[in-house]
Each structure stands twice: as C-alpha cells, then as structure tokens.
Chains A and B, each alone.
Chain A
Amino acid sequence: MDKALIARGVKRCTTGRFLLWILPWLGLLAFGLYSAGLCLVKGLNQTNMDNRFAFGLWIFLDLTVIALGAGAFFTGFLLYILKLDELKAVINSAVVIGLVCYSGAMTVLAVDVGQPLRAWFTFWYPNVHSMLTEVTFCISCYLTVLLIEYLPIVLQNRRLRDVPHLMVFEHELHKLVYVLAGVGTFLSFFHQGSLGGLYGVLRGRPFAFREGLFIWPSTFFLFILSAAAVGPGFILCTTFLVEKISHQRLVNRQVYRLLARISGLLLAVYTAAKSVDTLIWINRTSPGSGFAAEQYYSWRPFGTWILLAEIVLFGLIPALILLAPRLRAHTRWMVAAAAMACFGVALNRFVMTVQTLALPTLPFDPFLSYFPSWQEIGTFLAVVAYGVLVYSFSFRYLRLFPEERELRVEPARQQAGLEFVER
C-alpha cells in the first residue's frame, strides 16, 4: 500500500505488520497524552511531587534522554569535524534519535512547569547567573538545529525526491551540514554541561554541590563527558535493536566496533574523572559545607552500593569491555557493555535528581520518599511511545542507514558469483 514511499532496494515489512507494530505504541501515546493533559488542565496536583520533592520522574527523564540523545551532536562532531567517515552509516539515525530525545524532553518540561505559557519569560527576563537559563537557551537553539538537520533526511524520501525544487533545497541544505555540526556541537557542549551545573551549583544541597573551574562546577564537565560517552553507545544499542527487530543488517560491523571504541574510551575518561571528583567531594567539598559525606549513604536505600554501582559496575566494567578488542569482537558483549554504560548514566542522573532531593538538609527533617503518580508515569511513557513512533516512521520511509542497500546487495552478488562491490 505504501510501497511508493519506501526507498528502493531496502526491505520493509508489510503495511499490515507495520500497523500492528505501531498500534500499541499509539495506544500508549494516547494514554500518555491523556495523562499529560490532566496535568496541564487540572494542574500539577495530579502528580506525586510535593514541596520537598519539587522534581521527580520527569526531570530524571529529561536529564537521561538528553544524555542519551547526545549521540546526535557527538556523531556529527566526529563525522563532520574530525572526519571519521565510517560514521556516515549511522549519522541519520543519530539525528533522529537526537531529535526524538530533545523534543520529548522539551515537551515533558512544558508539562512539568507550573505556568507553561510563561516559558518565554526566560528569554525576556533571563537571569544570566542561572544554569537553567543556559539550559533553556541552548536546548531551544539546538532543537532548532536538529530540526534543520532532520529536514534533509525527510527530503530524501523517495516521493519527495520526485519534486525537483525539494531536491535542490535538500542539496543546498546539505551544504550547511558542516556549519550545523559545528553549531550543534557548541550548543550541546554547553547545555549538557549546564544540565550538570544545574545541580552542581546548589550550595544548599551539599550532596550535589561541587567546586569547579571559574563559574562551572565539576558536574558541568562530568555531564559533558558522560553524555559524549553514552551518545555513541546508545546509537550502538538502538542500531543493534533495530537490526534485530527488522531482521536485517543495517551497518557494517566495523562501524559498531568504532562506536564501541569511542564510547569505551570516553567512558574510561569519565569514570576516572568521576572517581577523582568523588574523592574531592568526600574529603573537601562536602565537609566544607558542614556535611560529612558518609551520612548521605546511611539513609536507606541509598547506601554506598549506589556509588559503587555508578562508578564500577556501570562505569569501569563496561569501559574495559568496550576497550578490550577481544571482548568487543563479541557483539553480545559489546552491546551489553554499551547498554550498561547507558544505564550507568541514567543512574547518575537519578542520583543527581532524586537522591539529592530525598536527603534531608535540616537535622529535624526526615528522609522522605517519592513514587510517581500514574499521570507522571503515563506522561513518561508517552515520550517513550513518541520516540518509538517517530523512529519507526523514519526507519520505514527515510534512509536512516545509507549502507543498508549495499549490505543487502552484497550477499546476493556473492551468491551469484559476482565480484565484491568495493566501497
């Protein structure tokens, strides 16, 4: 039915199967939109957040998806600025993932604030000292960059390429790609950092507060490093997942290994930096604020295990796996390690958001817990469903993996005794 929209030379499932695939996600999206609608119409009393837990599931989600979506800027940086041409095979997919993550995060933020119609106030009355101002400016600008980057991918659709004007427009847009990659990298470095800075500057929350360089706390740099580390790792995981679901090879194995190597290297640097930062915080920063660091880990269930899990289990171990050529050669090990790295960054964002707020700061204030309401979970799931849907449609109708057609042709030629096509 929709064959005319699907690129030539690639294999996609039937329209019926595709509809069956998207139906549950559409259901989830509808449920999520209803949940978000309730929060917008009736107010944030629909959530389980309160005056102590001013941030909850949504902020954790925002920080995590923005870190995972970092693959878009970082792959663009590696491909267009550092000229790692092998990454051309995944750049389109990375842009879609980035777009989904950033637009999803922005949408949830709009539900999360009490007065969404006043969002423009931040641009009108910006407090230049606030990390949130920096985040708002950079994310808004970068989302625009991502939309512009997504446009040529859409224009590559088979039917749209039949329109000469659009084809010329797409060609012109391609010329901009280096500028966009540069601007995207600059903006992303800043907002990934300011997201870390959001918590690092909280002098009143010694658990999160960190010293740093000039106006930036150490979390500013740690967030940049961790996002750059898991960005390629998340692209690796999603590409693997799409290959499994679609039952076909989409990229060359070398691309996988390159992504794994980059992710492993940056993860190792991040883990080392995080360890040094933790030691400084335990021995200097936190005691300097009057808080002994060991007390943070005496409040159950947040024991020292969470710190060890973050640094060793989901930091050091996946970094070593991704860096070891022998282990990396096994796809399962490689994907598992990349997934562990992604989980580690999600855990870090959880610690920075939820654990920071759960810990008491006044001596007569009890340790409190929080569990999100179904409206919060529904909105969270809507972002997941939205991401899957946008990616599914993009995968079906756009050329997310330029190597896909060649990878399909090669085995067929080999079978026919033809020579290998040199790439």
Chain B
Amino acid sequence: MKRYGMSIDLDRCTGCGACMVACAVENNIPAAPERTNDRKGITWIRVYKIDNGREWPERRTAFVPVLCQQCGHETPCAHVCPQQAVDVDPKTGIVGQMPERCLGCRYCMAACPYHARYFNWWDPKWPAGMEKTLNPSVAPRMRGVVEKCNFCHGRWHYAKQRAAAAGNRDIDPADYVPACVEACPTGAIQFGDLNDASSTPAKDANLPQSFRLLEKLGTETKIYYRSRRDWVRQIAGAPRPPSAAQPLHHIAARENPDG
C-alpha cells in the first residue's frame, strides 16, 4: 500500500507560480472568462502570499502553495458527498474526484477547510486553436461540477501502463511525478510515497521544522510544509483575527514577530 504525499519547503518557494501554470496545462484547466474574480477561477494549486506584518526594512515575505491536502482520516469531502463522487483510493491514499458523478451540490467545498476544491461556474472554453494544446489523457470537466487536485491522475495511469508494459507490478517512482513538482524551478515541492521511509517527503516529514496545515482538525493530511522561520510556521494553526489597525494577512506574524 502506498500513501502518496508531498513536502513543500516554504523557504525555497519564490512564488513564481510555475506550479500553478504547469498544473493548469497538465489538467486541462480552462481560463476563466473576462471580468471574473479569483474567487470563481479554478486553480488546483494556489500560491498564497504571506508576510511577517512588519514595516520595511524588517518586512519579510513567504509564499505558500496550497493544493488538496489529501486528507487521510475522516476525509471531510469524501465523508459528505451524497453520491460517492469522492473517494479515497486505498492503494495510493489519493483523494479522487469523479466529475461524471458529481451533482454539483458543493457540499464538499463547504466541508473542505483548505479551500482546495473548485466549482466549474462556466462551460470550459479555450480560445480558438488552443484546444490543440489539451492533454489527451485528462478529460476536461463540464460546467456545474466540482474538481480538485488528484496528484495528476493521468500521470499515475501512464506510470502504471509503463510498469505493466515492462512486466512490473509496481511503478517506478521516477515515472510518476505530478506536474507541479516537475515544474518547480527551486525544487521546493517534493513528491513520493510517505510509507517509503527512503522517499524525500517521508524524510522531510520528520524534520523538526515540518508541519501540516490545521493539524488539530485530525484530518491527517499528506502535504508537509516546512520552514526555518518561526513566523512562517505560525500558519500551521488557526486564524487569528487582526486588530483594526492591521491588514488581514498579517496575522501569522503577530504571535512571534521576531521569528
């Protein structure tokens, strides 16, 4: 049994957004129509910008890529879906979404504390000619259904086919790397089997600076973040409302501004 997961080094992430672009291209995510806001767009992986709340020259910034955290315990979205359109694959631990079965009730979105689920508010459309760039191994989703990161399921299938063609039961880890991991220029995102102690994410997960988002919820996520900076590690906890004088995104820093 595998338990695929990631480790993300926030000190290495430059916020370039290459992971977001690679993800969109790999998974046939259409561009949102004009005049829409970022709250209606689809970004299976989204890079948030945070800062330490101090003024220049003490101001520090960090970037946090957030994707489906692949919850391993009482997976909130799988638990609530009324028609089993969400499942957790016991062989891989990957939380999958079946758009063909999705009713579009969005209950899973309300259940997800990481806001990692996206609804297709529009019909998927690509500018003329761009449909030729679509990835043939990933089906575009229709309007009115929910979608999310599935660790590039198309690549997983491809890796399985390669293994089968070579007569192997197990896939070669080098054959299965999600697009965001491949595209990250600084190597901040690492992917692998968390059950394999020799894999990079499994090793990273045990580092002292490693943490998971909202760990107290008990969702046993498979995305491990890490940072040497104390103020960045504050994002592991619950939000704290800002005082009237401070902007909303400064909250992470208020606990320990010297970190």
Binding site for B on A (CB under 8 A): 43-45, 49-55, 112-115, 118-119, 121-122, 124-127, 129-133, 136, 198, 201-206, 288-292, 295, 298-299, 356-357, 360-368
Contact = CB atoms under 8 A, between A and B. Distances in A.
B209 interface: no
29 contacts: A44-B119, A45-B33, A45-B40, A51-B40, A51-B41, A51-B118, A54-B106, A54-B119, A55-B106, A114-B103, A114-B146, A118-B103, A121-B83, A126-B83, A127-B80, A130-B82, A132-B80, A132-B81, A132-B105, A133-B83, A202-B80, A203-B74, A204-B217, A289-B217, A290-B217, A361-B214, A362-B48, A362-B115, A367-B241
Interface string B76-106: 1001111111000000000000000111111
Contacts of B217: 203-204, 206, 289-290
B133 to A, nearest CB: 24
Contacts of B33: 45
Contact of B238 (A119, A122, A129, A292): A292
The 3 closest A-B pairs by CB, nearest first: A114-B104, A114-B144, A290-B216
Nearest to B236: A363
B252 to A, nearest CB: 5
Given A131-B80, A290-B215, 6 more contacts: A51-B119, A114-B119, A126-B83, A132-B80, A132-B82, A136-B82
B134 interface: no
Contacts of B218: 203, 289
A8 to B, nearest CB: 48
Interface of B: 33, 36-37, 39-41, 48, 50, 64, 66, 74, 76, 79-85, 101-107, 109-115, 117-123, 142-146, 213-219, 234-235, 237-241, 248-249, 251-252
A291 B238 contact: yes
B221 to A, nearest CB: 11
Contacts of A357: 110
A44 B50 contact: no
A114 B143 contact: yes
A357 B106 CA distance: 12
B122 A127 contact: no
B110 A113 contact: no
Contacts of B36: 45
B224 to A, nearest CB: 16
A54 B102 CA distance: 15
B81 to A, nearest CB: 6
Given A114-B102, A119-B103, A289-B216, A364 B81 contact: no
